[in-house]
A and B are shown apart, each in its own frame.
Chain A
Amino acid sequence: MLKGVTRLVSRVHKLDPGHFLRLGTQAPQSLAAHLDNQVSFESPRAISCTSENDPAKHEEKHEGQHYNLPLQDMKTIFPHGLPPRYAMQMKTFNEACLMVRKPALELLHYLKNTNFAHPAVRYVLYGEKGTGKTLSLCHIIHFCAKQDWLILHIPDAHLWVKDCRDLLQSSYNKQRFDQPLEASVWLKNFKTTNERFLNQIKIQEKYVWNKRESIEKGSSLGEVVEQGITRVRNATDAVGIVLKELKRQSSLGIFHLLVAVDGVNALWGRTTLKREDKSPIAAEELALIHNLRKMVKNDWNGGAIVMTLSQTGSLFKPRKAYLPQELLGKEGFDALDPFIPILVGNYNPKEFESCIQYYLENSWLQHEKAHTEEGKKELLFLSNGNPGQLERLCAYL
């Protein structure tokens, strides 16, 4: 009964002393497009949400608070790359709220002060399972998208080293293997994200696909991407061309490039792919991986490289491994060195409280004890402040 009263109260935008109201999103949930422009006229006492929706303006005082990402933007910026459970939550609540946390704030600070003449700096987000590395990466990507950077987002590099069905021998280099399916899927998503850049960037070299087809110097990057999507056989080579051109041209200063790789430890790990004679394929024999490795090297300037380490999809790594050297291995560490490691940890008490408030406000926690102090303490104990674990626990309540 109390829940019905809350909903009624929230509809009329009155301040209810018993429950904190959320700012800015009290309109009927279908009008998601207007969320950005809505002026917040609720009380600023809410501790779980902030009205500051521009990541560029996020500061320490916003730490622990959720900010809203407009759903339209989510479709463009994140056609791939959201963690699956978060995507489900987004669908359920019909809105996307991300918590502003310290690691992301730190990274934002560095990115704001990037010197684009210097070689690209590499940042590595690491932490235990479920602490929020991927979502922090999404926060950064949102910021860069708002700042009009070109986003090169590889949602999960582990997907490229396991369970690939068709492996073709690469036409460009006989020793390497192509992955047409993965490459074409990625090209589609890349196109969705960076539509506006594709016509502006012109390639600076002539590429020959085969005897009959080639692409001339000066044509736009969009054509390369189209070629890759339509001709799936050439998709991997198209990806290679895109990466090469972007790297070359970002140094010219026309655009800023953000390379965001999730699960970068896949690049230097083992694969589960085998040739026809059942001999295993090493990671560098895959053309996609080879090109991506070149991309995360810091021999270009005009942007930044943000990566996360992930044990979740990784192959042949123990479940408790989360430290950089464990997951990257010697080869990976040497390739990424020097980088800035940023630890993403569990929720601190303020963030935990904010998360619980957010769930309560969205009526996600239905258990009667959920909003009591003991209930919160129990949840804190059970999840140990781990965001992923907390989310899974609350799903049952």
Chain B
Amino acid sequence: MAAASLPAWRRLQPGARTLRAFSTAASPTTLPGNPRPSTTERTSRFDRPPRRKALPPRTEKMAVDQDWPSVYPVAAPFKPSAVPLPVRMGYPVKMGVPMAKEGNLELLKIPNFLHLTPVAIKKHCEALKDFCTEWPAALDSDEKCEKHFPIEIDTADYVSAGPSIRNPKARVVTLRKTEDWEKNKTEADMEEYIWTNSSSEKNILETLLQIKAAEKNLEVTKEELLGTKEIEDYKKCVVSLKNEGDSENTLSQYKDSVKRLLNLT
């Protein structure tokens, strides 16, 4: 009878708080009206003052249209006596159902957002409005925002079902901003190969222009050359060669495209 002995033990210590009643089952009563004995003497069970009856849970007193944010104003653990929902959680035994909310450790362990209902959030926003100013009317387009406030920080939040509320991907924060010195980024710094304005483009254009000059076909301009299908193909091959590295595949594609460009059979 552990349940009965525990309250008796507690009562022996003066100033100790009573345990919260975890069950609504009534605890064994003692004779009412017994005076508190002195701490030095052992008391019998009947000399002890009566234990307070466990009060009915708060849920029974809740109205349907009550003010929920006042029940859970801040983040607090799950209190089964304060949450009027018949929640069940846990793995059921054979031919059973999940455990009820009273005394349910599973419900205690998980994080709950009972303090963040839409009503509560609306109240927060209303309260915060007093501290906010108007959005400046001049910043009505994205370009203006970027021009005046070039720094952008991207954060990401993730929602998923799982044992943990943490998601390591949420720690990634991107800072987007172009500094003046970034314009001096040279070709050696580039992360990937960009074909426009590269030496490869220059080479191929020079070669083709010379070929055309040899064939007395001087009306062709650079832009026209750039637009032809062979050059597009060649560009793709060179970019793939540079970005992905050499392989039989990329090299043979490059070879074919060069052959087509230079009109070799």
Contacts and interface: CB of A to CB of B under 8 A. Distances in A.
Nearest to A323: B246
A375 interface: no
Contact of A339 (B206, B247, B258): B258
Interface string A107-133: 001100101011101000000000000
B24 interface: no
Given A117-B214, A301-B210, A338 B265 contact: no
A167 interface: no
Interface in B206-265: 206-207, 210-211, 214-215, 234, 238, 241-242, 245-248, 251, 254-255, 258-259, 261-265
Contact of A121 (B200, B214, B262): B262
B178 interface: no
A299 B206 contact: yes
Interface in B141-191: none
A72 B246 CA distance: 41
B94 to A, nearest CB: 63
A334 B187 CA distance: 12
A338 B246 contact: no
Interface residues of A, number: 25
A339 B242 CA distance: 15
Chain B interface size band reads 20 to 34
Contact of A118 (B203, B204, B214, B259): B214
A301 B215 CA distance: 13
A298 interface: yes
A299 B265 CA distance: 22
Contacts of A115: 263
B23 interface: no
A324 B246 contact: yes
B262 A299 contact: no
A338 B206 contact: no
B252 to A, nearest CB: 8
B246 A340 contact: no
A115 B261 CA distance: 14
Chain A facing B: main interface SS: mixed
Given A324-B246, A325-B246, A338 B251 contact: no
A326 B246 contact: yes
Contacts of B200: 334, 337-338
Contacts of A109: 265
B51 to A, nearest CB: 84
A113 B265 CA distance: 8
A341 B211 CA distance: 20
B264 A334 contact: no
Nearest to B211: A118
Query: Considering residues A118, A323, A340, which has the most beta carbons from chain B within 10 angstroms of its beta carbon?
Result: A118
A98 interface: no
A340 B255 contact: yes
Contacts of A323: 245-247, 251
A343 interface: yes
Contact of A343 (B199, B206, B251, B262): B251
Nearest to B210: A119
B264 A110 contact: yes
B246 A298 contact: no
B259 A340 contact: yes
Interface in A295-353: 298-299, 301, 323-326, 333-335, 337-343
A338 B211 contact: no
Given A110-B264, A325-B246, A341 B207 contact: no
Contact of A334 (B203, B206, B214, B234): B203
A338 B245 contact: no
Query: Considering residues B207, B215, B242, B261, which has the most beta carbons from chain A within 10 angstroms of its beta carbon?
Result: B207
Given A338-B258, A341-B254, 7 more contacts: A110-B265, A118-B210, A119-B210, A119-B214, A121-B262, A338-B207, A343-B251
Which 8 residue pairs across A and B have the least CB separation, nearest first? A323-B246, A117-B214, A334-B199, A338-B258, A119-B210, A325-B246, A337-B200, A118-B211
